[in-house]
């Protein structure tokens, strides 16, 4: 593991940038002081930052100090508190190496992972991460990078290695953090959706799209079923994994090709139901956030929650972070908030 450079002293102490939207100049000053950061922002802004101890991913949507905000003028920073860590390492991962991400993580620590949306790695991680060696034994959190929705098809999501200045649209980027022996990391999720009381849906294969599914045991054309039932496409499919609700958001219903595309894969043989409606997302979210005795080191939420729940200008308690194209809590999630805390062991 690489060591962590101690922040350099300054004549005028730099205010904390963690959990905030800041200017490029403020983020650059923090980087030059040696702070360890995870940064979200427009690609043009990330490329203006100096090299240092940081990783970044493209996204223009955030919930920050002033509530929900869309911006291409500022970047969002999360900072690793130097008092909790003994070292860190930054590594790219591709299709051949991503399966070792948990093996290569420190025995006591955590990993922040960024993956570009729509890349081959995005698909591979979504489908295969639960089966990686040592997965779920070491905390892994992160997000899928994206672009402004107006730029879909014209711009491509990117991850940015601040240590080397290298960007990638195909590889994932991880920061492995080793914690002091007296500290331990925990990954949590906040999901306001629950399975509704409707039909049980089972898909024949693991994929980001589906033509067919079993509806209460009867095979159906899934696109036809969604249209026939007048499904509110803002509501995700929800699977119950022993009490943990895992969402799959609908991206598009192809009227001509009879295919339904998803923001995360459905898994073969898993029983899904469409979620119950949520009348007031902000209220539901506030009530679902656990009371925490320790600070949140990292958090992110889904851009679909941002859009469908109209979070512009609204706050989500003490949880701030990028609004992303997918959330990572070990495996890929969708329409879910992910957070990571570090506490005394």
DSSP line for 103-165: TTS-SSEEEEEEEETTSHHHHHHHHHGGGSTTTTTS-EEEEEE---GGGBTTB---EEETTTT
Q: Are residues 289 and 323 in the same domain?
A: yes
Q: Are residues 67 and 182 in the same domain?
A: yes
Q: What is the pTM of this model?
A: 0.90
Q: Are residues 270 and 296 in the same domain?
A: no
Residue 260 within any structural domain of the chain: yes
| DSSP-derived secondary structure for 287-342 | HHSPP-SS-EEEEEEEHHHHHHTT-BT---TT--EEEES-EEESEEESS-EEEEEE
| Last residue in a domain, options 230, 247, 274 | 274
Q: Quick check: 40 pLDDT over 60?
A: yes
Q: Quick check: 227 pLDDT over 60?
A: yes
Distance, CA of 149 to chain centre: 17
Nearest CA among 42, 113, 53 for reference residue 76: 42
Q: Are residues 308 and 263 in the same domain?
A: no
Q: Are residues 294 and 244 in the same domain?
A: no
Let me know how long the chain is.
345
Q: Are residues 183 and 311 in the same domain?
A: yes
Q: Quick check: 7 pLDDT over 60?
A: no
Cα–Cα dist 245/193, whole Å: 7
| Last residue in a domain, options 253, 274, 295 | 274
- Show the domain range for 238: 201-274
Q: Are residues 215 and 305 in the same domain?
A: no
Residue 14 within any structural domain of the chain: no
Q: What percent of the chain stands above pLDDT 90?
A: 73
Residue 12 within any structural domain of the chain: no
Is-contact 266 207, C-beta < 8 A? yes
Q: Are residues 317 and 227 in the same domain?
A: no
Q: Are residues 113 and 165 in the same domain?
A: yes
Q: Are residues 168 and 243 in the same domain?
A: no
Mean pLDDT of 227-246: 91
Nearest CA among 176, 110, 101 for reference residue 131: 101
- 3-state SS class at 98: helix
Residue 288 within any structural domain of the chain: yes
**Which CA distances in Å does 15 have to 28, 33, 42, 45, 259?**
13, 12, 23, 20, 50
Banded pLDDT at 319 (limits 50, 70, 90): confident
Banded pLDDT at 9 (limits 50, 70, 90): very low
Which residues, in sequence order, are bridge partners of residue 341? 186, 296
**pLDDT (tens digit per residue) in 269-293:** 999 999 998 888 778 877 888 888 8
Q: Are residues 72 and 220 in the same domain?
A: no
Q: Are residues 210 and 321 in the same domain?
A: no
256 Cβ contact partners less than 8 Å away, ≥ 6 residues apart: none
What was the pLDDT predicted at 10? 44
Residue 15 within any structural domain of the chain: no
Q: Quick check: 141 pLDDT over 60?
A: yes
Is-contact 272 266, C-beta < 8 A? yes
What was the pLDDT predicted at 14? 57
Q: Quick check: 130 pLDDT over 80?
A: yes
Banded pLDDT at 314 (limits 50, 70, 90): confident
Give the number of domains in the chain: 2
Q: Angle at Cα 102 formed by Cα 99 and Cα 104, nearest 5°?
A: 95
335 Cβ contact partners less than 8 Å away, ≥ 6 residues apart: 191, 193, 236, 247, 249, 263, 302, 304, 305
Residue 231 within any structural domain of the chain: yes
222 Cβ contact partners less than 8 Å away, ≥ 6 residues apart: 201, 203, 210, 211, 212, 213, 260
The dihedral formed by the CA atoms of 260, 337, 289 and 23, expressed in degrees to the nearest 10: -140
Q: Quick check: 3 pLDDT over 70?
A: no
**pLDDT (tens digit per residue) in 47-100:** 999 999 999 999 999 999 998 999 999 999 999 998 999 999 999 999 999 999
Q: Quick check: 12 pLDDT over 70?
A: no
Q: Quick check: 317 pLDDT over 80?
A: no
| Last residue in a domain, options 255, 274, 293 | 274
């Amino acid at each position: 593991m690489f060591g962590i450079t101690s922040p350099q002293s300054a004549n005028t102490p730099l205010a904390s940038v963690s959990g905030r939207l800041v200017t490029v100049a403020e983020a650059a000053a923090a980087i030059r002081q040696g702070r360890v950061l995870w940064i979200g922002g427009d690609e043009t802004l990330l490329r203006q930052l100096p090299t240092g101890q940081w990783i970044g991913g493209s996204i223009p949507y955030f919930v920050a100090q002033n509530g929900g905000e869309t911006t291409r003028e500022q970047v969002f920073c999360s900072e690793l508190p130097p008092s909790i860590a003994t070292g860190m390492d930054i590594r790219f991962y591709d299709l051949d190496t991503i399966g070792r991400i948990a093996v290569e993580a420190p025995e006591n620590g955590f990993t922040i992972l960024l993956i570009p949306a729509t890349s081959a790695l995005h698909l591979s991680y979504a489908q295969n991460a639960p089966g990686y060696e040592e997965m779920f034994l070491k905390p892994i959190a992160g997000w899928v990078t994206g672009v402004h929705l107006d730029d879909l098809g014209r711009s491509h999501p990117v991850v940015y290695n601040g240590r080397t200045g290298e960007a990638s649209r195909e590889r994932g980027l991880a920061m492995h953090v080793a914690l002091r022996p007296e500290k331990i990391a925990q990954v949590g999720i906040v999901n306001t959706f629950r399975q509704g009381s409707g039909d049980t849906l089972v898909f024949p294969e693991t994929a980001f799209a589906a033509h067919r599914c079993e509806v209460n045991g009867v095979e159906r054309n899934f696109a036809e079923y969604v249209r026939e039932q007048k499904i509110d496409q803002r509501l995700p499919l929800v699977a119950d994994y022993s009490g943990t609700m895992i969402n799959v958001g609908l991206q598009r219903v192809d009227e001509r090709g009879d295919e339904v595309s998803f923001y995360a894969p459905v898994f073969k043989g898993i029983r899904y139901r469409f979620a119950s409606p949520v009348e007031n997302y902000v209220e539901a979210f506030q009530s679902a956030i656990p009371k925490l005795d320790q600070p949140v080191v990292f958090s992110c939420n889904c851009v679909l929650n941002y859009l469908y729940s109209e979070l512009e200008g609204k706050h989500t308690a003490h949880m701030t972070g990028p609004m992303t194209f997918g959330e990572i809590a070990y495996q890929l999630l969708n329409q879910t908030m992910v957070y990571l805390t570090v506490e005394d062991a």
